[in-house]
Structure 1
Amino acid sequence: MLQRAAKGEISLNLPLFQTKYTADPAPLVVGDTLFLFTSHDASPEDIPDVNEKSSAGFFMYDWLLWSTTDMVNWTEHGAVASLKDIPWRSRENGAWAIQTVERNGKYYLYAPLHGHGIAVLKADSPYGPFKDPLGKPLVWDQSNWFDIDPSVYTDDDGQAYLYWGNPHTFYAKLNDDMISLKSEVTKLPHIKHYQEGPWIYGRRQGDRETGSYKYYLAYASTCCPEALGYAMSDSPTGLWEWKNYIMRPTLRDRGNHPGICDFKGHSYVFGQSYDLMHLDTFTHHERRSVSATEITYNEDGTIQEVPYWLDQEPVKQLCWLNPYQRVEAETMAWGYGLKSAKMGIENTGVVADMPTSTGKKNMYIFDINDGEFIKLRGVDFGNGAKKFNITAASTGSCKVTLRLDGQDGPIVGEAVISKTGSVEKYKAFNTKVTNASGVHDLYLCFSNTSGETRLDWWKFGN
């Protein structure tokens, strides 16, 4: 079934991203955009030690950023920061789970250096560049290795709290500068089934003005397999009372990590699985992928349990995609088999070769082969599109067939990308479009590929 889904034949609640393996989702809502920060499990070609390329272990060097306005079509922004941005790090592998929060127009990225404390990076934008303002750990108890999976929540009164810990739970109050502690570190009593990956947030139940305020601590439950559990409290510091699973343990998964947010009137939980890797192999490797689903709350504030990711319908689209504005090629609902990179940066996965945090840079799609496609959900063509433009660079050629509602759906246009002189030289390629009106899923299907082709952006016209 997974293989058929990858070919666009059936609809499942599949992982959100396919160009890279992802884990540890951390959502951040800014205006009408949801940003999702993730950790990054290296693909075999990105692992520097040739003897480890088939290893089942973790190989994690940087952190990634994605964004959406509709919950189904996601734009990739590449590596937002890497271990190289923390010069006092103790090892070249271990870019574990982060969380990024905003305060007073600044963005703070909290990162664990397992066994060496928790770092904080600061930026003027969610895209970075992120810089280390301290040059040392924000938190580091040298007596243990519990310093993992930081989560930050700012309460209505402006007080920010930093949570972390595996297999114990710790918290401390943050000062208004978000880069120093206001209180001593407190170790909480054991929370039922707690293992790691705390995610703390608050939410008012019932009436927005008079309803009771509840605090939530979601987490990965006792391994293995890990599930998504949660506890509740009347205070951001506890006492925390176990409530239930958000998603209960299943042998189809062995690890999980929650990220929860409210966005455009809906609540979403993000987690991880091995479903993307299972399109290629069921031999275990730590190559995870992030999924999401909507959650609902009962009148008492408890969260209704959800089934495993693949047992649910895909997330509902919140607004239609406008094809008459520039759409980056790395914006997609599905694009299995394709790769992406930032222009001008050869990010090999080796820490020594990584740039420090660059901020927002243009990206491109590459490694395009016959039979692959980019799917976009809910594209609103209105009264009808008449033309299609795509900007690309190529040392060979590639045919882009535009289809509606399926990989084998009706053809509304075909553009042929030809040689541009080099993969650094981008040109515009055009085609006429017919019979494309109303709202449809759009498939950019690739065939007749030769040489190397890189896609930058596309746009329809009328």
Structure 2
Amino acid sequence: MIHDTSRRIPEYIMGRDYPRAVTIFVSANHYQPLTQISFMLSKKQLASIFAITLLINGSSAAEAAEDHQFEKTPKLGTGNCNPLLDFLHVADPTAVVHNGRVYVYGTNDQQELDSVGRDGKNSYAHIHSLVMMSSDDMVNWTYHGIIDVEQAAPWTGEKGVSWAPSIISRAESDGLTHFYMYYSHGGGGVGVITATSPVGPWTDPLGHDLIDVNTPGLTDCPAPFDPGAVIDENGVGWLSFGGGRSSKATTFLPGSARIVRLGSDLLSLDSEISEIPAPYFFEASELNYINGTWVYSYSTDWVDRTEWNDPEVSHPSICSIGYMTSTDPLNRDSWKFRGDILKNPHDYGMEYTNNHTHFLRFNNEYYIFYHTNHLADFRGITTGYRNICVDRLEVDENSIAIPTGQMTQTGVSQIKPLDPFAWQQAETVAATSGIKFEHTDVAGNMVACGLGSGQQSEVRGADFGKGASRFEAKVRGKGVIDIHIGSPKGKRVGSLVIDHPQWQTVSVRLGKKLKGSQDLCFVYRDGDFKFDEWRFIR
């Protein structure tokens, strides 16, 4: 075969002197040593050689991917946008908007799977980290890595499990935006970590749980976990939480959902702890504040609905996400159940699972983040590993009526084009196959690593306008990045050859100008290298 080094030929074609000397490198396959051959070619002959090279290398790129068996994905080449990430398992979403991006965080189910294996049940016992991702277009997601809560809060101990975060932010007197991440410290408490960037670094300001079973004023709440936080229009913070069954529990009213007003520092409590009388309450508390109204959402229990006395609204369905509203949140009797926001994934054609959601307004639309087992099921993993998804949600801000939403594999539409002429991170992806990432010294910045064995990544909706003529990337190691249009089997427009032991920005001229809106697929082959960022040049 002709090795990809010959992709440099189009630049030779632009020369003026023909015939001219050309050097190419050949090998029997991708892994054999290269042999150098030099000879004279006319312009016409050279163009023919280049065309043949494109054909041969197009098939070899596909073969490279097929030679290595990676976990299947329901996203690559399909146009599906759910789940948000397809290279690791993440659950229990929370989200915040900052500087035109939505940042999403969740429980690191992947840590449990890596600890117990594909056949091991997800008991959450090995999870002590959270996952970060963000997007400004809702389709291409930037993976910002993990928050090692055990490292940020050493007092939690080696087995200090951390799940189900809830994040709020506000601008403070130092001119910075401060982020407050509340999280379940197992089933027995709520911890908090803070940062002045949505991707950290994160630190623990308290050295202990904000809430646990020994908190003064907290009674009859056996599992004070799964926090849901919000800041109201007056800048006051609120926190909901709870789980288990109170001593007075009935099937209809377990009696363990709670809400409290936070202190001005958002790190203390500033009111009595009040009950939210959530019917068929189970877990997964979350709070929103819309037009003077507190909106409490939660996961309902798996039990049969044997009791219901409200003729104005149907009872919550089995293990659904229900919601309640109040204009006086510390008044237990002010809360009213309004209906299901989402039903169980089984009602949308997927497998049964628990759920945890967060909804917010972004770019003048409401979106709801939730999790399903679809990615695990697609891969034949049936032991309870979950992934965050997103769909549109209709919210009437006047009446606070929220019709039951949908769970789809299609997901949501891209709300803005990706700019291919700005530097884009290798960890910004719409779909992947076989990709792994590692942290750098910069908080929230990752690099793709271990590339060169047929891995693939896809970005969608890149707007090239009148055209791009070159591609460049910051890379390190040895290998090749093939650039395809649309999918791994789509037309290949360029191949970037990498041979640098240190980080280097390398470029290649495209075989044909890219114009208009395009989905791109990068195929990584013939080596072992790392990939940090990329862009196209007009």
C-alpha distance in 1, partners of 2:105/2:466? 37
Taking the TM superposition and a 5 Å limit, the aligned residue runs for 1:60-139 are: 60-89=127-156, 92-103=159-170, 104=172, 105-139=177-211
Give me the whole-angstrom Cα distance separating, in 2, the residues matched to 1:106 and 1:44: 30
Alpha-carbon distance between aligned partners in 1 of 2:284 and 2:517, rounded to the nearest angstrom: 39
C-alpha distance in 1 between matches for 2:79 and 2:196: 39
Q: Do the aligned partners of 2:74 and 2:378 also contact (CA within 8 Å) in 1?
A: no
- Please point out which of 403, 418, 432 is paired with 2:484: 403
Partner of 2:287: 200
2:412 maps to a residue whose letter is V
Assess if the C-alpha contact under 8 Å between 1:112 and 1:149 holds in 2. Answer: yes
Q: 1:440 aligns with which of 501, 515, 518?
A: 518
Deviations 1:146-193 (A, max 9, x none): 12111111111222111111142111111111111111222222x123
Greater RCO (CA < 8 Å, at least 6 residues apart): 1
Q: Residue 292 of structure 1 aligns with which residue?
A: 390
Determine if contact 1:317/1:378 at 8 Å carries over to the other structure.
yes
Deviation at 1:108, TM superposition (A): 1.3
| CA positional deviation for 1:54 | 3.2
Q: CA offset at residue 95 of structure 1? A: 1.3
Task: Go from structure 1 to structure 2 and tell me whether the alpha carbon gap of 1:138 and 1:45 turns closer, same or farther (over 3 Å shift).
Answer: closer
Kindly indicate whether residue 276 of structure 2 is the aligned counterpart of residue 188 of structure 1. Answer: yes
Aligned partners of 1:184 and 1:45: how far apart in 2? 40
1:222 maps to amino acid:
D
Write the distance in 2 (CA, Å) between the matches of 1:44 and 1:36: 20
In the alignment, which residue of structure 1 is the partner of 2:11? none
User: Residue in 2 aligned with 1:355?
Assistant: none
Give, in whole Å, the separation in 1 of the partners of 2:323 and 2:452: 43
- Provide closer, same or farther for how the CA distance between residues 119 and 149 of structure 1 changes in structure 2, counting only shifts above 3 A: same
Amino acid at match of 2:147: V
1:151 pairs, out of 228, 244, 256, with 228
Take 1:445 and 1:431, find their aligned partners in 2: how far apart are those partners? 15
Deviations 1:402-421 (CA, angstroms, capped at 9, x unpaired): 12223322222221233x33
Distance 1:93 1:132, change over 3 A: closer
Cα 1:255–1:400 shift into 2, 3 Å: same
Instruction: Select between 248-257 and 373-382 the one with higher mean Cα deviation.
Output: 248-257
Counterparts of 1:43 and 1:161, CA distance in 2: 30
TM-score for both structures, normalised by structure 1: 0.85
3-state SS, counterpart of residue 161 of structure 2: coil
- Distance of aligned partners of 1:283 and 1:53 in 2 relative to their CA distance in 1, 3 Å threshold: closer
In structure 2, give the amino acid aligned to 1:54: G
**Which of 306, 315, 339 is equivalent to 1:244?**
339
Q: 2:74 corresponds to which letter in structure 1?
A: A
Q: Deviations over 1:55-102 (max 9, x none)?
A: 442231211211111111111111234222222225515211111211
Q: Distance in 1 between matches of 2:123 and 2:208?
A: 27
- Residue identity opposite 1:33 in structure 2: R
If the length of structure 2 is used for normalisation, what is the TM-score? Answer: 0.73
- Which residue type is aligned with residue 330 of structure 1? E
Partners of 2:223 and 2:188 in 1: how far apart?
Answer: 10
Task: Choose from 280, 298, 301 the match for 1:219.
Answer: 298
Q: CA deviation at 1:11?
A: 3.0
Q: 1:353 maps to which residue?
A: none
User: Equivalent of 1:5, from 74, 82, 106?
Assistant: 74
* SS of structure 2 residue aligned to 1:278: helix
For 1:303, give the aligned amino acid: I
CA RMSD of aligned residues (A): 2.5
**CA separation in 2, counterparts of 1:163 and 1:36?**
19
In 2: Cα distance, 1:241 partner to 1:361 partner? 40
The letter for the 2-side match of 1:22 is: V
The answer to whether the 8 Å contact 1:20/1:43 transfers is: no
Q: Does the CA contact (< 8 Å) of 1:90 and 1:116 recur in 2?
A: no
**Contact persistence 2:76–2:487 (CA under 8 A):** no
How far apart are the structure 1 equivalents of 2:298 and 2:526? 45
Change (3 A) 1:370 1:92: same
Partner of 1:40: 108
Contact 2:81 2:139 in 1 (8 A): no
Q: Offset at 1:369?
A: 5.8
Cα gap change, 1:281 to 1:101, in 2 (>3 Å):
same
**Residue type of the partner of 1:326?**
W
Q: Amino acid of the residue matched to residue 458 of structure 1?
A: W
1:177 to 265, 276, 282: 265
Structure 1 residue runs without a partner (length 5+): 205-212, 345-358
